[in-house]
Structure formats: C-alpha cells, structure tokens
Structure 1
Amino acid sequence: MKTVLLVVLVGFIGLHVSVFGRDIFKHRKNLGNESMPISIGIGFITDFFDTLGIGAFAPTTLLVKVTRQLDDDRKLPGTLNVSHALSCLLEALIFITVVKVEPLTLFLLVAAATVGSWIGSRYVTGLPEQKVQFVMGLALILTAILMTLKQTGMINILGEGNVATGLTGVKLIIGIIGNFILGALMTMGVGLYAPCMAMVYMLGLSPLVAFPIMSASCAALMPVASINFIKTNEYARKLSFGITIGGIIGVIIAAKFVTGLDITALTWIVIVVIIFTGLTYLQKSYKTKVARNA
C-alpha cells in the first residue's frame, strides 16, 4: 500500500507539472508583474523551513505581503496551493520512505484530505475578496495559535507514550473525517501540519508517524486543489512559478544539510509576525466591507 501511495504521489507530480506547466506556457508572454528573484527567494526560505517543521503557508503569506508581490488578495489561497505543491510532494517522498507507518491508515487519511481539498477549492474560487481577506486573517491567527501550542510543547504532550503506527475502527473513521475537513480548510489558507499533528496524537499514533501523514496529505491535496485554482485563474502565475523553483531548492538543501538546525527563536519571531499579519488582513476585510456598503 505504501508503494501504491508513492506511485500515486509520483503521478501527482506529473499531473501538477502538466497542468501548471501548460498554463505557464500558455500565458508565457504575460505571466504577471511580480519579481522573479523575489519570488524564488520567498520559495526557498519558506520551503526550507517547512522541511524543518515551521510550515509554509503562513510565512509565505507574510513574505508576499511584506514584499508587495500580490495586488489581489483573492488569488492568495490559490497561489499558496499551486506554488508549494511540488516542494511538498518532494518532502512527502522523503518522509514516507524513512518513517514506518501502517500503509492503510496512511492511504485512507491522505485520500480523505485530497477529496476535502477538491471540494474546498471549488468553494474558495467563488469567494469575493472581502471574504478571502477575512478567512486568511482567521487562518493566520489560528496558525499562530497552533504554532505556539507546538512550541510550548502542548501538542507534543498529546503524543507522549504513543507507539501505534496505524488506526483501526472508530479511530480510523475519526481520522478520515478529520483529515477530510483539514484538506478542505487548507485550500482556504489554513495550514494542515499543526492541526493534523494534534489529531493523530489524540488518536494515539506515535509522534513520528505524524510526519509522513502530514506531508503526504499536503502533497496529494495540493495538486488536486490546484487544478481548480489554475482553471479559474485564481492564482498569481509568475509568483507561483518563482516560489516553486525556490521551494524545490530549499527542500533539497534542508533535507540534506541542515536537518538539525535549531529554529526555536526564529519560530517565535514568525509567530509574532504572523499574528500581526492576520490582524492586518482582518482590518482589510473590515475596510473592504465598509467601502462596499457605503
């Protein structure tokens, strides 16, 4: 079953490269006004630290805002999913091959997240800018809270003493439903890593097992969700292309050379800035709503 999942993930790589590459080639003369060097830099930084456990969505949102690389907030969820798909697939291939996990549990939870992302992406593409700003603001603050719980050890406490590598019965059903919901929320900008980690801990799985489940879930759902975002033009092409290039390089370097890097201080800085960015998006959402009603 694990081999089947690896084959499926490789297939997703081909799918994403085909769909994304075809769209980039089709619009090659007008990809956008974003800076390619800055976009590549954003991808390298965010996926480098994503491989080390920080997560990519919230830091990407932060850097995109700081560097002013996106002038339409409606395209942010799509850009996040499209741009990080390949780097996340690469991470998943690494974790699945080195961590022992019960194949059926892994396959079913990944499948649930993928179906959730397909449904979620179809909903997100129809949201107006004001609602996207509101959702992104809440997503960032929720991400910061979960990152804080992880940093303080609150989430890790849930996994202490857990040795199981798979789920059965009611726990498996809960895991499937939970990952379905998390897959849908990820298309709206809510990172899957921390909530998925908390869920598998509470279901009794070993902390180490969380990594292949998290990475494989993200890896499978992103290319699927990206199809809808690309189809409806709800993403920034040049920005996504640059982040993809930088992200792949970042994952390779992080996995090979600096997996033991202490990122505690950096993570706390990221949490503070993410909260500020989340509040900024909520403020923008309020102003957009007031202007629309005026």
Structure 2
Amino acid sequence: MRKLPGTVNAQCILPLAVMTVAYLSRVQVSWWLLVMCIIAQVIGAYIGPRLVMRLPDRMIRLSVGVGLLVSAALLLANQLHWVQTTGNATSLPVGKAILLAALLFVYGALNNIGIGSFAPTMVTVSFFGMSPLVAFPIMMGAAFFSIVVGSTVFIQAGAYSRKIVSYTSIFGIIGVLVAVFIVGQLQMTVINWIILAILIYAAFILLRPTADEIEA
C-alpha cells in the first residue's frame, strides 16, 4: 500500500506525454495562461511527495479513496449541469488566471496521493467561463510535467512497483491513442459517465475495510 501513490504517478508519465502532444496540437489556448498553470501545478507536485511519504499506509489509502469520491462528485456536477459549461473563452484576465493557477497548485499536490486532476480542472475551468475544450491542454500539460516531478521523488525513494508501471504504461499509451483518435468521436458526456463509474468503483475498493481492520 505504501507504494500505491508512487506507482499511480509513475505509470502515468508515458501515456500523459503522448496525450499532451496530441491535445496541444489540436486545441488552442493562451500560451501564457498555459505556462502559468503548468508551473503552478509542477510546484505543487514537487512539494506533495515529501508530505505523502510520511503518511501511514491506512491514511494513504483513505486519502486516495476520499479524493476519488471528490473527483467523482465534481464530475457528476459537471454531467448534471450544476456548473456552467457553455463558456467559449480561451484565456482569462490576470486576476482570474492567478486564481486558476493557485487552484492548480493544490491539484498538483493532491496528484501525489493518486487523486487525478481531470475532474477538478474541468469543473474549475468551466466555472471561469472558459471553453471545456480548453481544459484538455491545460490538464494534460500541467498533469504531465507535475507527474514527472512528483514521480521522480517516488522513483528515487524506490516507493513504486516497477513491474506494474511497465505494464500499465504500455497499455496506457494504447488507451491514449484510442481515446484521442477513436473515442474522441464519441460524445464527451458518454466518456465522462464511464470515467465517473470507474472513479466510484475505485473509491469503493480503497475505502472498504481490509481483512486486518475487520479482525481488529
């Protein structure tokens, strides 16, 4: 369980690299806003692992589980149109841009306990009145660089499973290519419902008591 955060982060590096290139080449977004968001999330990712590795195993498992539920709740709010998702802006005023960067700093730190930034970033971008499509280059670019920084700390400490990372990275790249070039033809609503189901299932697995906890 102690290797869970490091494994979750390390397995994302190569798939995210492929996805970042794909979305940056297909979606336009203000370059200065993109750079600001990436830097903010990378700083958060750099600080996060040093705190995560000090947590006890049970705390890590519960934190990841709760984080997944939070992400699921945000994604559900987006799916049910409880947040505004009809904006079309591709940039933000300086004040809002700084606030967005501050939030991405937090998301970068949370990434290191296995809480993905997809749902929080999507909802946040929508709240600011930007086009939901703009969220993808921001999410993928920021996630890639922050995951690389965060994973480096775990890898240097040996706090990850090399075998699992090898397998999941290969299949992750295949999944990314399918998502970009095939699944991309599907409605985003359908894809989000699938992601929502996966988030809830994963949270259930992590939050249910282990055999040792039941016996105790």
Query: TM-score over 0.5 for the alignment?
Result: yes
In the TM superposition, 1:2-151 aligns within 5 A as 73-151=1-79
The SS at the match of 2:58 is helix
For residues 208 and 179 of structure 1, the distance between their equivalents in structure 2, rounded to whole angstroms, comes to 17
Which segments of 5 or more consecutive residues in structure 1 lack a partner in the other structure?
1-72
For residues 57 and 123 of structure 2, the distance between their equivalents in structure 1, rounded to whole angstroms, comes to 31
How many residues were matched structurally?
216
Change (3 A) 1:204 1:236: same
Change (3 A) 1:194 1:272: closer
Change (3 A) 1:84 1:178: same
> Of 99, 117, 122, which aligns to 1:174?
99
> Of 124, 129, 153, which aligns to 1:199?
124
Change (3 A) 1:271 1:206: closer
- Contact 2:41-2:142 within 8 A present in 1 as well: yes
1:265 CA displacement: 6.2
Matched residue type, 1:115: I
- 2:85 corresponds to 1:159: yes
The SS at the match of 1:172 is helix
1:275 CA displacement: 2.9
- TM-score when scaled to structure 1? 0.67
Q: Which has the higher Rg, Structure 1 or Structure 2? A: 1
1:107 CA displacement: 0.3
Residue in structure 2 matched with residue 250 of structure 1 by the alignment: 175
> Of 83, 88, 108, which aligns to 1:183?
108
- Cα RMSD (Å): 2.4
Matched residue type, 2:85: G
Q: Residues 241-264 of structure 1: CA distance to partner in whole angstroms, max 9, x if unpaired?
A: 110111112222332334213586
- Contact 1:109-1:179 within 8 A present in 2 as well: yes
1:233 CA displacement: 1.4
Change (3 A) 1:185 1:173: same
Matched residue type, 1:237: R
- TM-score when scaled to structure 2? 0.89
